[in-house]
Structure 1
Amino acid sequence: MTEKLDRLVADARRAAETRGQGYRERALKIYPWICGRCAREFTPANLRELTVHHRDHNHDNNPADGSNWELLCLYCHDNEHQRQLEATQGNVSAKSPASAATHSPFAALGTLLKKS
């Protein structure tokens, strides 16, 4: 059983690496080596810090024209995924985070003050 699981994990890792190299190489040919958020420029010396972000968060959606990709630096890429995670966990629209607040901590304050 362990061998089967190890083989499955190894196959999945190889497939992900192959897929990643394919779309990464294409994205680097299509787009300028500039972060799409902070506009940091990259050279061959620091190109490893530039990532390919999937706009729809589906790593299997890799159209040949690159329309689902944007190049982001490591920091902006992490920030984008953190924002997406927080929006998903809180069931909050990424565009309207203010709608997340439903609790009113001072709703009964008037009643409590009257009792004193």
Structure 2
Amino acid sequence: MKHSNDRLDQLVAQARQSQAERERGYREQALKMYPWICGRCGREFTRANLRELTVHHRDHNHDNNPADGSNWELLCLYCHDNEHQRYTDATPGSGTATGTAATHNPFAGLAGLLKGENDPGDDHSGT
């Protein structure tokens, strides 16, 4: 079992290294190509805080890295997180809902109340 765990650890390490190399490549290209400004909030960056500026893939495909940068935009950490949350929220089946529908209708007796009818749950008859 130890041998298979070692092999798995090695595969994970290689995958992370490959991803980091890819990210460095397109990040460096994007930073040379675009001004160091967040594309959403307009925050400006310098070398001192450049680590907080990220490359966002417009189509959410991190393997789609055209040389012209057309799939990238620079976003600050906060706007980047917000963009991915909005994408997750808009993707059917990706929410945190359990799939159970609400059965309570809070407006069920509203029409009757508006017509002046008593709510059956209220006993205002004075008895």
Q: Which amino acid aligns with 2:105?
A: P
| Overall identity of the aligned pairs, in % | 67
Which protein is richer in helix relative to its size? 1
Structure 1 position 112, deviation (Å):
7.9
- What stretches of structure 1 of length at least 5 have no aligned partner? 93-102
> What are the Cα deviations for residues 7-58 of structure 1, in whole angstroms up to 9, with x where unaligned?
1100100000000000000000000000000000000111000000000000
Q: Specify whether residues 90 and 7 from structure 1 end up closer, same or farther in structure 2 by C-alpha distance, changes over 3 A only.
A: closer
CA RMSD of aligned residues (A): 2.6
TM-score for the superposition, normalised by structure 2? 0.74
2:52 aligns with: 49
TM-score for the superposition, normalised by structure 1? 0.81
8 Å CA contact 2:109, 2:119 repeated in 1? no
SS in 1 for 2:91: helix
8 Å CA contact 2:30, 2:74 repeated in 1? yes
- What stretches of structure 2 of length at least 5 have no aligned partner? 96-102, 121-127
> What are the Cα deviations for residues 56-83 of structure 1, in whole angstroms up to 9, with x where unaligned?
0000000000000000000000100111
- Structure number with larger C-alpha Rg: 2
SS in 1 for 2:73: strand
Q: Which amino acid aligns with 2:61?
A: N
1:105 aligns with: 105
| Number of matched pairs | 107
Out of 3, 13, 32, the position equivalent to 2:6 is 3
Q: Specify whether residues 110 and 43 from structure 1 end up closer, same or farther in structure 2 by C-alpha distance, changes over 3 A only.
A: closer
Structure 2 CA distance, aligned partners of 1:107 and 1:115? 12
Structure 2 CA distance, aligned partners of 1:110 and 1:48? 55
